[in-house]
């Protein structure tokens, strides 16, 4: 049976991020993506002004209840940015229900970047996000989010393996700490695998350019790889390599940063796992 993944994320009509990345990526990787939208926005909020916003918390709850009455099962549930404490609490209920039926919980604890939380993430919101992340089998924080989860102002440099181990909650969850690199000119992550207890550094040559949706693309490819039966480190290599190729393509085309990564023409590389070839250690 084709694996199913429930995706609890927002949907922006323009500007590649969240569900407009997750749906095509998981589909290309042979996964049925079943969206549970938290909100609809005309555009994302990075670089755009005046966007519309439709809160879909109530609809999310109704949809989840309907799925439960149908007896549906999912092989994974994947969460991202949440707009309110109510959404965080509701997402936690959905994740717990799906985990009880065998789903792998992938939690991207989207709370901040560049050393500070997003403006909507108050201390109480960050605490609620940490409670949701505690349900994860795999979490994918960036460096800012890792510090927030650990209650630190900043992370200790050059000890990212120890940070990943601390984030694992004594080995109860796997961790992919994005943005954790060992040398200049590198991009990648540190992976702690709860199945093996091993820590792996994933480092590739850094591509120039910063674009919206990079984290969504990374975690989507990682989730797809896990559902294909790949290991955590293997999936992280695959995700890092694919993101790098998409960044290079987008920068070469001169695409405005706010439009996100120009990834669609490269989706074919994800079919059958061929995106993994040649990425390791480059």
DSSP 8-state secondary structure symbol assigned to residue 281? T
Confidence of residue 273 (pLDDT cuts 50, 70, 90): low
Weakest mean pLDDT among 14-28, 123-137, 182-196, 264-278:
264-278
* pLDDT value of residue 276: 53
Contact by Cβ (8 Å): 31, 5? yes
| Domains of the chain by start residue, with CATH | 4-265 (3.40.1190.20)
Q: How far apart are CA 113 and CA 96, in angstroms?
A: 27
Q: How far apart are CA 43 and CA 51, in angstroms?
A: 6
**Which alpha helices (DSSP H) does the chain contain, by range?**
19-28, 57-69, 85-100, 123-133, 143-150, 160-167, 214-227, 232-253
**pLDDT surpasses 50 at 282:** no
Give the tens place of pLDDT for each residue, 146-159.
999 999 988 877 78
Contact by Cβ (8 Å): 143, 179? yes
pTM of the shown model:
0.95
**pLDDT surpasses 60 at 277:** no
Average pLDDT of the chain is 93
Residues 6+ apart with CB under 8 A from 101: 73, 74
**pLDDT surpasses 60 at 280:** no
Give the tens place of pLDDT for each residue, 185-201.
788 899 999 999 999 99
Weakest mean pLDDT among 6-10, 111-115, 253-257:
111-115
Sign of the four-CA dihedral 24, 228, 133, 77: positive
Confidence of residue 119 (pLDDT cuts 50, 70, 90): confident
**pLDDT cut 70: percent of the chain above it:** 96
Q: How far apart are CA 259 and CA 46, in angstroms?
A: 9
Angle between helical axes of 143-150 and 160-167 (0-180°, round to 10): 50
Residue 215, CA atoms < 13 Å, CB-side half-sphere? 23
Q: Higher-confidence residue: 30 or 209? A: 30
**pLDDT cut 90: percent of the chain above it:** 82
Contact by Cβ (8 Å): 53, 41? yes
* pLDDT value of residue 256: 95
């Amino acid at each position: 049976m084709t694996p199913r993944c429930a995706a609890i994320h927002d949907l922006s009509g323009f500007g590649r991020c969240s569900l407009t990345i997750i749906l095509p990526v998981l589909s290309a990787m042979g996964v049925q993506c079943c969206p549970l939208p938290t909100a609809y926005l005309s555009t994302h909020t990075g670089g755009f002004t005046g966007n519309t916003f439709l809160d879909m918390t109530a609809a999310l709850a109704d949809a989840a209840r309907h799925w439960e009455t149908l007896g549906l099962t999912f092989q994974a549930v994947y969460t991202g940015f949440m707009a309110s404490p109510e959404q965080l609490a509701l997402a936690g209920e959905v994740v717990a229900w799906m985990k009880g039926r065998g789903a792998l919980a992938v939690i991207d604890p989207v709370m901040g970047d560049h050393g500070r939380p997003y403006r909507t993430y108050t201390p109480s919101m960050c605490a609620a996000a940490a409670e949701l992340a505690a349900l994860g089998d795999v979490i994918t924080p960036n460096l800012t989010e890792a510090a927030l989860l650990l209650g630190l102002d900043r992370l200790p440099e050059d000890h990212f393996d120890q940070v990943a181990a601390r984030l694992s909650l004594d080995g109860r969850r796997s961790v992919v700490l994005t943005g954790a690199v060992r040398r200049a000119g590198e991009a990648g992550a540190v992976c702690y695998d709860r199945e093996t207890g091993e820590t792996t550094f994933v480092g590739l040559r850094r591509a120039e350019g910063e674009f919206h949706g990079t984290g969504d693309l990374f975690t989507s490819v990682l989730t797809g790889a896990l559902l294909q039966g790949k290991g955590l480190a293997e999936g992280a290599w695959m995700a890092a390599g694919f993101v790098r190729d998409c960044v290079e393509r987008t920068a070469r085309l001169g695409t405005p940063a706010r439009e996100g990564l120009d990834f669609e023409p490269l989706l074919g590389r994800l079919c059958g796992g061929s995106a993994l070839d040649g990425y390791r250690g480059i």
